[in-house]
Chains A and B, each alone.
Chain A
Amino acid sequence: MGYILILVGTVLVNNIVLSQFMGICAFLGVSKQMKSSVGMGAAVIFVMVCAAVITYPIYKLLEHFEITYLKTVAFILVIAMFVQMVEMIIKKLMPPLYKALGIYLPLITTNCAVLGVTITNVDESYNIAQSVVNAFGTGVGFTLALLLFSGVRSRINDSKLPETFKGVPATLIAASIVSLSFMGFSGLI
């Protein structure tokens, strides 16, 4: 039950992009097309789950030496290294997966959304299973936000807008409205 609550909470209630405002850069950058948002979403889910698994022992290590205040630096270092390594491995062993995720993987190595998940795991003192569920849910939430917003954006592109609102301003306003709509989930759990 606890896992389901974490899932629902991260996907809908505390959606990483629309409620916590993390990963906005990737959110605005890749939501232009449905296809690329799916690729990006898959890469984010993958990296987040990996990051949750790998930062868990690292945090235990930091706790052991009582230097948990350095967790941000340690996490960034470890995640970046790990993703680079995984990229090389799947390039060699799984070329189709590399083609699907390829361009997006390096884009998100140091994304704040990925770091945000690991910090949340630590703050909520989740165990390893809960951390993985939390990371997975957050990734799914990110993908959901991307997919929904790519639909909104294709509508924006088709509509007649005043010259001053074209491009980024309209996109940001639309993003805030989508974000507002997600506030409706706040009473869910």
Chain B
Amino acid sequence: MQYLIPVLLFAALGVLAGVLLTVCSKVFAVKVDERLEQLQEALPQINCGSCGYSGCNAYADAILNEGAPLNMCKPGGAESAGKLSEIMGVETEHPEQEVAFVRCSGNCNVTQHKYVYDGSQSCRASNRYYNGSKVCTSGCLGYGDCVEVCPSGAISIVDRIAKVDKNKCVGCGLCAKACPNSLIVIRRKSQKVDVGCKSTAIGKITHSVCENGCIGCRMCEKKCPNGAIKVENNFANIDYSKCDGCGQCAQACRLGVIKLT
């Protein structure tokens, strides 16, 4: 008897639990649209947030319930957009793949650090002390805040400046937000030219602190057939909506700030 009661009691408890759970799962079943799961699978699931929603699942939910556009996912690009439109049965135009580019060429060979920084290894922290440890106050500090936020591991620090691997970059733009000097631009992947400097100091000062800096000589501005380059605040700025990638600016640039890629 002393063995029987516990066994029976636990059997009863187990059966009761089973019955209760089964009943509950039937009574409280929530209908989930099966397309939701398909949509979630079609997205890259790196939750970068560049679509404007809090994550891939939130975006999938918004597509289904709020009629959000299907071409918002930058990392997924054409592939994701294609899958999404297949699932939803709607045609959509997908945007061209975009990549990040770091607008600084001031690596450790050409520019110095004005003090030895031994604090928290982040650009944001270093930037609080006299605009960062670098002599050039608008250059890449190289502590890798962008490396940390990159969901695809595309950014590395080479010669103390950040470098984006175009083949790995998904164009989400998280690095652009993380950079305290706003050096990272997001642009179309097919684009051929980049300006590798964003120094706002006048040409003479820029050149004295960094051999690779843009001195604002306006040669590129004059050579550009499309009027896509404007020199403002002492550095060249390419309007990628006008640029056709002819590369004449790169030839005109004596300091090699504008690069063909």
Contact = CB atoms under 8 A, between A and B. Distances in A.
A92 B20 contact: no
Interface string A71-97: 001100110010011001101110000
A88 B24 contact: yes
B10 A73 contact: yes
B17 A89 contact: no
A77 B17 contact: yes
A154 B238 CA distance: 39
Nearest to A65: B5
A110 to B, nearest CB: 14
Given A91-B28, A91-B30, A160-B120, A81 B10 contact: no
A168 interface: no
Given A67-B6, A91-B28, A158-B122, A74 B20 contact: no
A160 B20 CA distance: 53
Interface in A139-161: 158-160
Contacts of A73: 10
A84 B23 CA distance: 12
Contacts of A159: 120
Interface in B116-131: 120-122, 125
Given A67-B5, A92-B30, A158-B122, A85 B13 contact: no
Main SS class of interface, A:
helix
A91 B31 CA distance: 11
B21 A84 contact: yes
Given A88-B28, A159-B120, A160-B121, A70 B10 contact: yes
A126 to B, nearest CB: 23
A84 B21 CA distance: 8
Contact of B10 (A74, A85, A88, A89): A74
A160 B121 CA distance: 7
B14 interface: yes
Contact of B120 (A61, A65, A158): A158
Interface residues of A, number: 19
Contact of A88 (B5, B9, B13, B25): B25
Interface in A35-91: 61, 65, 67, 70, 73-74, 77-78, 81, 84-85, 88-89, 91
Main SS class of interface, B:
helix
A80 to B, nearest CB: 8
A14 to B, nearest CB: 30
Contacts of B125: 158
A84 B18 CA distance: 11
A85 B30 contact: no
Contacts of B10: 70, 73-74, 77
A77 B28 contact: no
Given A65-B5, A159-B120, A160-B121, A78 B21 contact: no
Nearest to A70: B6
Interface string B104-117: 00000000000000
Interface string B27-50: 011100000000000000000000
Nearest to A86: B24
A93 B27 CA distance: 11
Nearest to B118: A160
B44 to A, nearest CB: 20
B15 to A, nearest CB: 11
Q: Which 7 A-B pairs have the closest CB atoms?
A: A81-B17, A92-B28, A88-B28, A88-B24, A67-B6, A158-B120, A85-B24
25 contacts: A61-B9, A65-B5, A65-B6, A65-B9, A67-B5, A70-B10, A73-B10, A74-B10, A77-B10, A77-B17, A81-B17, A81-B20, A81-B21, A85-B21, A85-B24, A88-B25, A88-B28, A89-B24, A91-B30, A92-B28, A92-B29, A92-B30, A93-B28, A158-B120, A160-B121
